[in-house]
Amino acid sequence: MRDRRYAHPFRDLRAKLREASSVCVLSGAGMSAESGIPTFRDAQTGLWANFDPMQLASEAGFRADPQRVWDWYQMRRDGVRQAAPHAGHVALARYAARHPGRLTILTQNVDDLHQRAAAQAGEGARIVALHGSILSDRWLDACPRDEDLMRRPCDPSRAEPGHPPRCPDCGNRLRPGVVWFGESLDYRDLTAAEEAASACDVMLVVGTSGTVWPAAGLAARARHAGAHVVILNTQASEIDDEAHIVLTGSAATLLPRLLDPL
Ligand code: OAD
């Protein structure tokens, strides 16, 4: 969809971004693609084109074959650690640093590239990691000591190495700190995201297919609350109809063009 009311989309959008008091970015796997991290649904290279999400990204899949799932996440963690933020991450971080408190990044990505760009290029954005962090771990099952007010819950950092690591005291297993299929998002993160989407003047939806909810619904929420919604993607997405304008291109190309040096 290309809205013909915007004859000069970049000039008009740059003006909106300059004047906005609140801007949201909803990012997805396409945001990290140019850092070398594969997306999920791209036909050839997407993770879900080559792996079964129910085996590798669900609690049932983990319980069925914990080692397989753990090792797959270790491989992805290695990829994330080797990746670096690209020009699009840096443009967002610099924009946020120039306008502290203006930008909220709602990311579906479990890598830490937005956070690393902020550490390198400038703090200033609030970053909500809707689907958790692949670089963190948590217990698979509730710690039995949680029930006991007299004892501290077991510490995941003390887990004994393994595939997956286990608690030396109660045998609980570690799992990656991401949201799997069938699981709810953290209530506080979702609430923060909904509030930010409802309050922003401009929402940039970057590199998401718009197929996974509730994150995909944040674009509609922003639009219905009066925000100017812009999609940045190399291809059509499921939520293009929610946008006032769709810019076709890559995150590393379009974001600097929109944000440098506003
Ligand atoms: P998808 O893999 O579904 O979609 C990636 C999107 O990025 C597609 O629309 C591509 O066209 C676009 N894209 C690819 N390269 C790009 C680039 N360089 N610049 C801009 N856009 C580009 O990824 P998500 O929408 O993030 O969930 O998927 C949502 C969720 O599904 C993920 O968070 C993950 C997955 O299952 C969990 O892990 C819970």
Ligand 1: which residue has its CA nearest to atom 26?
A: 28
Give me the pLDDT at residue 5, please. 55
CA geometry: angle 156, 162, 165, nearest 5 deg: 20
Residue 243 has φ and ψ, to the nearest 5°, of -95, 145
Up-side HSE of residue 118: CA atoms within 13 Å toward CB? 15
**Residue 209, annotated ligand binder?**
yes
| Residue 29 CA, ligand 1 centroid: distance in Å | 4
**Residue 14, annotated ligand binder?**
no
- Helix (H) / strand (E) containing 104: strand 103-107
Tell me the per-residue pLDDT of 158-186, one tens digit each, with 9 for 90 and over: 899 999 999 998 899 999 999 999 999 99
**Ligand 1 pocket, residue 107 CB under 6 Å:** no
Query: Is 214 or 1 the better-scoring residue by pLDDT?
Result: 214
86, 89, 114, 131: the active-site residue = 131
At residue 1, does pLDDT exceed 70? no
Cα(154)–Cα(165) distance, integer angstroms: 13
Segment 72-79 mean pLDDT: 96
User: Residue 217: which residues within 8 A CB-CB, separation 6 or more?
Assistant: none
Q: Is the pTM of this model over 0.85?
A: yes
Active site residue 131: yes
- What domains are there in the chain, each with its CATH number? 9-37+85-131+185-259 (3.40.50.1220), 47-82+136-178 (3.30.1600)
Cα(142)–Cα(147) distance, integer angstroms: 9
Tell me the per-residue pLDDT of 189-212, one tens digit each, with 9 for 90 and over: 999 999 999 999 999 999 999 999
Cα(145)–Cα(245) distance, integer angstroms: 52
At residue 27, does pLDDT exceed 50? yes
DSSP state of 240: G
| Choice from 108, 109, 206, 248 to test ligand 1 binding pocket (greatest atom count within 8 A of CB) | 108
**Residue 71, annotated ligand binder?**
no
| Residue 160 CA, ligand 1 centroid: distance in Å | 34
**Ligand 1 pocket, residue 256 CB under 6 Å:** no
Amino acid at 148: D
Ligand 1: which residue has its CA nearest to atom 23?
A: 29
Cα(147)–Cα(12) distance, integer angstroms: 56
Binning pLDDT at 50, 70 and 90, where does residue 4 land?
very low
